[in-house]
Amino acid sequence: MKSKVDPDLCISCELCTNICPDVYSMGDDGYAHAIDGDIPEEKLADAENARDSCPTSAIDLF
């Protein structure tokens, strides 16, 4: 499974980076970004929690 953050919806609240720092980080542009590639199996639950906690629904898991 992979993840993507929509920069048009991201409000830089850093919830995702606090919940799942192994998958999400803040970029130089001030918005959250997901790691390239597949999310490690042991981090899937945290990534789902980050997605579900995003106040603007900017995170997609696919």
pLDDT digits (tens, 9 = 90+) for 29-55: 999 999 999 999 999 999 999 999 999
Structural domain boundaries, residue 13: 3-61
Q: Which helix (H) or strand (E) holds 46?
A: helix 44-53
Number of domains in the chain: 1
CATH number for the domain that contains residue 26: 3.30.70.20
- What pLDDT is stored for residue 49 in this prediction? 99
pTM for the model: 0.94
pLDDT (0 to 100) of residue 44: 98
Length of the chain: 62
Q: What is the pLDDT of residues 19-30, one digit of tens each?
A: 999 999 999 999
Give the alpha-carbon dihedral of 47, 15, 18, 31, to 10 degrees. 90
